[in-house]
Structures are given as structure tokens and as C-alpha cells.
Amino acid sequence: MAIIGNPTPGNDLILGDAANNFIDALAGDDTVNGNGGDDSLLGGLGNDQLLGAVGNDTLIGGGGNDVLVGDIFGGTGNDSLNGGAGDDVLNGGLGADTIAGGPGNDTYSVGSLNATFIEQANEGNDIVNSPISFTLPNNIERLTLVGTANINGTGNALGNSILGNAANNSLSGLAGDDTINGLDGNDTLNGGDGIDILNGNNGDDILNGGAGNDVINGGAGIDRVKVNAVGSNIVLTNTSVTGEGVDSLNGIENAELFVFQSNNIPGNIDASAFTLGSVTLDGGIGSNVLIGGSGNDFLDGEGANDTLTGGSGDDTLNGGSGNDLLTGGAGADRFLYETGRAFIASDVGLDTVTSFSVSSDKFVLSKKTFDTLITAAGGTLLSSEFEVVDSFIEQFSSNAKITYNRVSGDLSFNRNGSILVGGDAEGGFIADLNPGNVAGGAPLLSASNIRIVA
């Protein structure tokens, strides 16, 4: 290995040659270029600039605020960079590099997913600039995505600062109290655990605060907040989500709230004070009370006996299994029956449907569940598969697949053409539109009020 140059304690410019060079620049603000070969460059004290260039190089900055570049642009050498003390800038290039910033506020530039970044705890506030999807290694606090590609960024257990680029990014903070900024593009921001700040900025963003009391700012665009709300009573307004904690909201046009529980404790969500857009409410297991806002909402009760109220707007209500109470409210509402498999009465339950408007509301039946219907998916129920009757006996004896008792208000599915006569007893009642059997209280349902979907 050749020993190059005549270094001094001053500010030196030292150029290596094509051989494997060892250059110790000593003190001073030095500039060292190894050129070709597998070089070892030592900056010593001072604010040094070390360029390994071609080859598998070892760069040690020493004290001072150093700039260490393992390869020329596009180089693929497997370099070792050690910044030492000071606020260093480290760029290994495209190879399988080992990069250690050392004490100080260091800046890492990512050139390859094969690089290994080494940073010890409490050695400064460090940042990674990455043009590719990247997950922060341990003990590095900040991540900035650069370039124009649709790439993703993930934090670590620290309180991270994550900044997206102008494209569509997925940014996740994981643990810690994170600050995540989406910039432009249609971004997805996930705060994870901790007390997080999420800023969607421009674009139609999805913001998921996760656990903790988060601050969520949608920014410009049509944004959606997603909340995994663990608790028994969740309240959504235009400015907050309250449950076991409080998430502050700003600039959110739509919301998705999900209640996850490990037992049958009811999960109640009241979004009636949310007036900016649509909400999706998923009650999870247990007997839930879900109340929509003023937009076009989707309410899913899932298991047990739920109470779903759509509010104003064109809402979709899916009670799931159990005997549910469904109220669409104002607007053109949809009552969805979809279990993912062929009809079983216990999957559907017998729902009570109040305030059904024959002029605007629809029952929506999945062809996968109501599997013997011949009506094509996407169409209105064929009149040949529907019959209005005046008694239970007529309902049991009808050859129609869907029957409606205009006296009692009961809607039923006769899977094989009838329940008692010529059938095999498969089917059952799915909805009661006249709770209490009030005389004249049942709406005059017709086949046009029933839509079929896949």
C-alpha cells in the first residue's frame, strides 16, 4: 500500500493514485481524494472532505464536521465510513457499505439497501436522506425521502421525524412520539404507538394516528382519518376523536373508525357531530351502537345485536349477524346483506328496519349469499323472483325467492322457491319493516327496492 502526500497540520489538498493508498491528512480542514484503488483515508482533526472514489475504501473522518463519500457517483465499491466526532455527512455510494456516524448530528445519504448503518444511542440527532424506500436503523432519529419516486419510509422505536417527498408515500412512525409530514402526493401516514403529529399537507391523504393522543392535520385535499379506537364509547366531531384518549383533528373531510376488542364489550361510536364528509364505522364484535354523521356513511355492526343509525346522507348499513336495529335516516340509504357465503339464517339474523322510504331506499342483497337468485349482479331484482303477500301462510307457500308481507312488514328469502311447500326449509326472514305490527305501518315494498350485487 502506497503512503501518499506530505500532510501538514494545515489545510491540505491530497490526491491519491490508482494504487491502494494510505493517506493520513493530520489536522486542518483537508480535502483528500483517493482516486482508484482500495484506499484508507484519515481526516484527522478539522472539517475534512474525504472521497474514496473507485474501489473498496475505508474513510475515517476523525474530529470535526466531515464530509465522507465512499464512491464517485454511480460507484459500487464496498466502503467503510466512520465519521468520528462532529456533524458529519456520509455517503457510501451504491455498494454494500458499512457507515458509522459517531458522536454528533450526522447526515447519511442512502445509495443502496445493502448498506449497514451503525449509530450508537445518544450520539446526536441524526438524519437519513433516501431516494429509495427505507426503514430507519436503531438510534437514528430523522428520515427524509428525496427524489420523485413513489417510495415509503418507516421509523424505529425512537420519536422520529419523517418527511415524504412530492410523490405518493406511505410513512410509518412505529413506536415513539413521531412527527410525520406527507408533503405533496396522496400519502398514507401511520403514527403507530406514542403521541404523534401527522401532517398530510397537499394531496388526498389517509392518516392513521394509532395508539396515543395524536394531533392529525389533513392539509389540502380530501383526507381521511383512520382510528383504531379501543374503548366503549367513541365520539367523533369535526375537530377530535375521543375515547380512551383524545385525538385532535384539523382539515379532515372523511373518517374511518374501527373498534377492536378482545371480548364482547360493546363498542359505541357516535359520529353525529361530524359534518365535513363521510365516515366508516366498524363496531367489531359485541353489541354496538353506531351513529353516522351528515355525509354518505358506511356502518358495519358485524357480530351480535347492533343498533345502527345512518343520519342524514346516503348511507349504507350492514348489521352483520345478529338481530339488529337499522335506521337509515334522511337520504337514499342502502341496507346491505352480505355474509361471504351461501345463505344461513344465523349469519344474517332478523333485522328491524325503521323509516324505510320506498321512494329512495334499497335493500342490497349479495348474490353470493342469496345464491339461488337468477337476477344478475348489478341489477334490480326481477319481478318474477319477488312477490308481495298478505299473510304468513301466503309467504310460506309462495314460489318467489323473495317475499314481502305488506301487513306484517316481514321480508324473507325462500332459497328453493318456498319454505314449506315444495322446498327444503332453507331460508328465513331477514328484515321486519313494521316493528310492532302497526296497522298500515308497513311500507309498500316492490322489487324495485331490491338491488343485487356480486
What is the structure's pLDDT at 257? 82
Look at the block and give the residue holding cell 494504487: 19
Residue 259 falls inside a structural domain: no
pLDDT attached to residue 74? 47
State which amino acid sits at residue 251.
Answer: G
pLDDT at 423: 47
Which residue from 278, 153, 284, 293 is spatially nearest to 222, judged by alpha carbons? 278
The verdict on residue 269 lying in a domain is no
Which of 100, 10, 92 is closest to 47 using CA atoms?
10
Tens-of-pLDDT digits for all 454 residues of the chain?
A: 555 567 778 787 777 787 787 878 788 787 888 787 787 787 778 787 787 777 777 787 777 777 777 665 445 778 788 888 889 888 887 888 889 888 999 999 898 888 899 999 999 999 999 999 999 999 999 999 999 999 999 999 999 999 999 999 999 999 999 999 999 999 999 999 999 999 999 999 999 988 888 999 999 999 999 886 655 678 899 899 887 678 899 999 898 887 654 345 566 889 999 999 999 998 877 788 999 999 999 999 988 899 999 999 999 999 999 999 999 999 999 999 999 999 999 999 999 999 999 999 999 999 999 999 999 999 999 999 999 999 999 988 898 999 999 999 999 999 887 655 444 557 899 999 999 888 888 999 999 999 999 9
Provide the number of structural domains found in the chain. Answer: 2
**What's the rounded Cα separation, in Å, for the pair 329 and 291?**
10
Would 88 be classed as within a structural domain?
yes
| Entry pTM | 0.78
Whole-angstrom CA distances from 148 to 164, 185, 329, 354 are 10, 10, 46, 52
CA dist 325 and 43 (Å) reads 75
Domain annotation covers residue 432: yes
Report whether 371 contacts 343 (CB < 8 A): yes
- 311 located within any domain: no
| Domain assignment of residue 88, given as a range | 1-120
Domain membership of residue 71 (yes or no) is: yes
Q: For strand 21-24 and strand 107-109, is the pairing parallel, antiparallel, or unpaired? A: unpaired
Instruction: Choose the final residue of a domain: 89, 120, 151.
Output: 120
Predicted local distance difference test score (pLDDT) of residue 231: 59
Indicate the residue among 90, 120, 150 that finishes a domain: 120
Residue written as cell 406514542?
A: 194
Does 395 fall in a domain?
yes
Which residue, 120, 141, 164, sits at the end of a domain?
A: 120
For residue 69, being part of any structural domain is answered with yes
Beta-carbon contacts of 225 under 8 Å, excluding residues fewer than 6 positions away, are 206, 207, 208, 209, 216, 218, 241, 247, 249, 252, 254, 255, 256
